[in-house]
Amino acid sequence: MYRSVHDFADYHRSMEKSQKTTNRRGQKSRQEILDAASRAMSACGYAGTSMSALVNATGIPKSAIYHHFGSKGGLLAEVMAEGAHGFFAAMQEAHREPQGETPRERLGWYLRKAGEVFRNRENFLRLLLIMVMSNEAADPEALETVIRVRNEGRNYMRGLVRDAFSVQGDALDSDVVEDIAHFGMLGFDGAFVSMQSGDKRSMESQMEQLADAMIALGEARAASFSSARSHGKRTQRHT
């Protein structure tokens, strides 16, 4: 029994403090597991990263890992989700104050900044590439995360393309935007593989070349669409 209301209040405060400490420890353990899994999976792949290796890397029991994530596939999904959140947040921060007065200047600036983010987010991008190319993850949640990240990347690229080409007031047809964004994603993938393979060409120079190519493609596709529309209008007038 408590001897007074004050005793009960002291006990309650002690329990709250203990609970907060336990929660902080749990959150720290969870983050330690995510960090270790990100490093290991980006280096060895999903299949090549054993739960035992994560136990050795973190000192956290396997039972605690399963408690936090349920399964190895659930852990991968969380690693991908956290990596994606950090990657796109870094991209948005890098692109917060766009520069450039022409489409080429604006797009070149966007891509150079993206290249800087690539260098700082290698673990996430390497793991994403491994998952896309090897299709290792059998867990539906993990596969869904990989697909969502790629789709989010394409959508982000579409936004960069639209903004760059609208600098001088020209709005591109949605099909043209789609073509340029698709090409840009191919260029991003290739530039990252080149960086990982130790290519001596700098990321900045690769982004400059990609910007040149995307602008040339955009101008060519826009001219083609404009010509097709003009031809269609002339045909309608003669029928």
The DSSP line for 150-178 is HHHHHHHHHHHHHHHHTTTTPPPPHHHHH
Domain ranges of the chain: 1-70, 73-237
Higher pLDDT, 19 or 139: 139
For residues 88-102, give the mean pLDDT: 96
Structural contact between residues 141 and 74, judged by C-beta atoms closer than 8 angstroms: yes
In words, the CATH class of domain 73-237 is mainly alpha
Per-residue pLDDT, 134: 74
Task: Classify burial at 68, counting beta carbons within 10 Å of its beta carbon; exposed 0-12, middle 13-18, buried 19 or more.
Answer: middle
Two tokens, residue 103: 């489409």
Question: What pLDDT band is residue 25 in, cutting at 50, 70 and 90?
Answer: low
193/129 Cα distance (integer angstroms): 9
Positive or negative torsion for Cα 172, 177, 180, 184 = positive
99-114 pLDDT, tens digit per residue, is 999 999 999 999 999 9
Nearest to 214 by CA among 82, 73, 114, 88: 114
63/53 Cα distance (integer angstroms): 14
- Tell me: pLDDT of 24 over 60: no
Two tokens, residue 121: 């987010």
Determine what percent of the chain is predicted with pLDDT higher than 70.
Answer: 80
Per-residue pLDDT, 8: 47
CATH architecture of 1-70: Orthogonal Bundle (1.10)
